[in-house]
Structure 1
C-alpha cells in the first residue's frame, strides 16, 4: 500500500484529494497547520485518516510529516486578500514554503511529488488572442497570489532539476464543487450571487473546474510513470455574467441580473470592497490588482494534455455549479 502525504488537507481541494486517495486504497496522512483544530479537521477525522500538524514555514514539522512516506501531494498555499503586506503574507510564504517542503522531501527520499500550482501561473488573454497552454508563464502578474504561484512553481522546477526530484505540477482553474466547510474566494462569488450581493457582473472571464476533477488530475499525474511537466486542469471558460445567469437558472431566487457593469464602475469596486471590509469585517472579495489582471481579460487555455494522455474528462460546469449551489443551500454555508 502506497503511503502519501497531502498538505493543505483541510482545504477544499485538499479534502477532496484525501477522500479520493483513500477510496483508491492509499494510506493517507493529512497535513494541516493545527491537527488539534476541531473545526477544521472534523471532516478529515470522519474519514479516519492519520492527521499531523505541519506548517510550510516550519521545516521540523515537515520533516516529521514526511517520514516514512512514499509520495507527496503539495497542495497547501497562502491566500489572503486582506493582507496588509502581501509580499510578506502571501508571496514570500508560498515561495519559502515551496523551498522548505521540496528540500525536505528530497532529504526524506520521497519517490514522487505532485505539486499544486494554478492557471494563475499561466496568465490571461485579451479578446481575440490565442488561448494559452502549459508553455506560458504569467510573468506580468500584478495580483500577489498570481505572482506567488508563478514564482513558486518556477522555483519548484529549479529545485526539481537541482535535486533530481520526480516532480509533476497540476494547474487547476477556478475551482467549484461540493465537499467544503468554508467557501474559498471562488466559491464566495457563487455565495454572493445566491445572496443577492452581486446583482451586476464585472466584465471578467474565468476558466472553471470541479474540485473532484482536480483531485483526479493529481492522482492520474501521480499514478502514471509517463507523467511529466505541467498539466493544466480546467474545463469551460465563462464570463462572470454567464455564471450569474446559470446560478439564476439553478436557483431562481438568486437576486442577480447577470448584466455586466461598465468597466469604470468595476475599477471603483476595490475601494468600496475595502470600505465594506473595514466596517463589517467581512472578507475582501476584490482588490485593485485583481482588476488590473482580470478586467476585460479571459482565462482561456488550449490544453488537452490530461485528456490525451490520461483520458481525463471534467464534469460539465453546469453540473458542477448545480452541486455547488445544492451543497451551499443544504449546509447553509
Structure 2
C-alpha cells in the first residue's frame, strides 16, 4: 500500500472489534486477506484466519449493512474432472483434491460465504488461479517458484500444469466482479493453461537460466518432500525447501476454463509471457534473485 492514496485501518480477522471499526461507514468490501502458504508451524492458523475470520468479517458486514462484497476464494476450491478436461465453476471439488490445510480451509470458507449469500448477503465469489507479476512481497508460492528458478534451484521439472494470470488482471477482475458479478456466483479469474515445462521454458527465455531437462512424476519427489516437511516441523520450524503440499498438488494438472469471467466480467487476458516478464523484472529489481 506504500505510496497509495488510501486510509489505512489496522485490524485482525480474529478480532471482531477491529473488524467492526474497519467496516463502519464502508459501502463496499473486498475480502482478499487470507493465510496463504503451503506450510505453517501451527496449522490451526489456516482455519482461524481463513474460515473463522471470514465468517466474522462477513457477519459484521451483514450486521452493518455493508453494500456489495467480493470474496477472494481460490481456484483450489473448484473441482477438476477425472477425464482431464479443464475445471469450471459448476464442478464441485472432491475431498481428495483438497490438498493441504490452505485449500481445505479456503473451501470451508467458501461454504460459509455461500451460506451467507443465501441468507441475503450481496457477495460475489472470485477464484483466482496462479497470479504472477509485480509486488509479490512474501513471495507467494507461485512467486517463490519463479525466484527459485531465477536462482538456478530447479534441478527437475514435475509433470504437472498450472493456469497463470497477470496479477493486474486479477485486480481488474475483482473490480468488475463488484460492478457486474451476480450475487452468489463464482468466477474463475484465470488465463492460460500451461504445463510446468512450458512455464520453465518461458522463464529460461526471460532470465537466461537453463530450464531443467529432467521431468519427473510427482511420486518421485514425494519421499524428499516428506523428509523436508518433517525437518521443518521438528527441527528448523521454517518453511520446507520442498513443500509437501505443493508436490501433492502436482498430481493434478490444474487447468481451468475461464470463459465465464471473460464473458460476464470482460476479464483481461494479458499474455502469460508478459506477466512472467513483469514478475522476473520486479524480483530482480528488488533483490530477490
Alpha-carbon distance between aligned partners in 2 of 1:280 and 1:244, rounded to the nearest angstrom: 29
Task: Kindly indicate whether residue 284 of structure 2 is the aligned counterpart of residue 324 of structure 1.
Answer: no
SS at match of 1:284: coil
Task: Kindly indicate whether residue 263 of structure 2 is the aligned counterpart of residue 308 of structure 1.
Answer: yes
Task: Kindly indicate whether residue 166 of structure 2 is the aligned counterpart of residue 219 of structure 1.
Answer: no
Residues 1:226 and 1:118: Cα distance change in structure 2 (over 3 Å): closer
Match of 1:167 in 2: 123
Structure 1 spans left out of the alignment, 5+ residues: 1-43
Q: Deviations over 1:138-161 (max 9, x none)?
A: 231131111111111111010121
Displacement after TM superposition at 1:282 (Å): 5.3
| Contact 1:245–1:258, Cα closer than 8 Å, also in 2 | no
Q: Deviations over 1:74-125 (max 9, x none)?
A: 0001124332442x12134311011100000011111100000010100335
Match of 1:142 in 2: 99
Task: Kindly indicate whether residue 181 of structure 2 is the aligned counterpart of residue 233 of structure 1.
Answer: no
Alpha-carbon distance between aligned partners in 1 of 2:215 and 2:231, rounded to the nearest angstrom: 21
- Out of 193, 201, 206, the position equivalent to 2:157 is 201
Match of 1:82 in 2: 39
Q: Deviations over 1:27-64 (max 9, x none)?
A: xxxxxxxxxxxxxxxxx241131101111110000000
Instruction: Flag the structure with more relative contact order, 1 or 2, with Cα contacts below 8 A and sequence separation at least 6.
Output: 2
Alpha-carbon distance between aligned partners in 1 of 2:13 and 2:57, rounded to the nearest angstrom: 6
| Contact 2:31–2:71, Cα closer than 8 Å, also in 1 | yes
SS at match of 2:9: strand
Alpha-carbon distance between aligned partners in 2 of 1:184 and 1:56, rounded to the nearest angstrom: 20
Further displaced range: 102-111 or 281-290: 281-290
Alpha-carbon distance between aligned partners in 1 of 2:166 and 2:100, rounded to the nearest angstrom: 23
Instruction: State TM-score, norm by structure 1.
Output: 0.79
| Aligned pairs, number | 285
Alpha-carbon distance between aligned partners in 2 of 1:280 and 1:245, rounded to the nearest angstrom: 33
Residues 1:194 and 1:279: Cα distance change in structure 2 (over 3 Å): farther
Query: For residues 206-285 of structure 1, what are the structure 2 equivalents within 5 Å?
Result: 206-224=162-180, 229-252=185-208, 254-274=209-229, 277=232, 283-284=239-240
Instruction: State TM-score, norm by structure 2.
Output: 0.90
Structure 2 spans left out of the alignment, 5+ residues: none
Moved over 4 A (4+): 225-228, 275-282
Alignment RMSD, CA only? 2.1
Alpha-carbon distance between aligned partners in 2 of 1:185 and 1:130, rounded to the nearest angstrom: 25
Displacement after TM superposition at 1:258 (Å): 4.6
Residues 1:60 and 1:81: Cα distance change in structure 2 (over 3 Å): same
| Contact 2:166–2:275, Cα closer than 8 Å, also in 1 | yes
| Contact 2:79–2:88, Cα closer than 8 Å, also in 1 | no
Alpha-carbon distance between aligned partners in 2 of 1:279 and 1:196, rounded to the nearest angstrom: 26
Q: Deviations over 1:251-307 (max 9, x none)?
A: 11x243253124442112313433674776653354444433432x21122231121
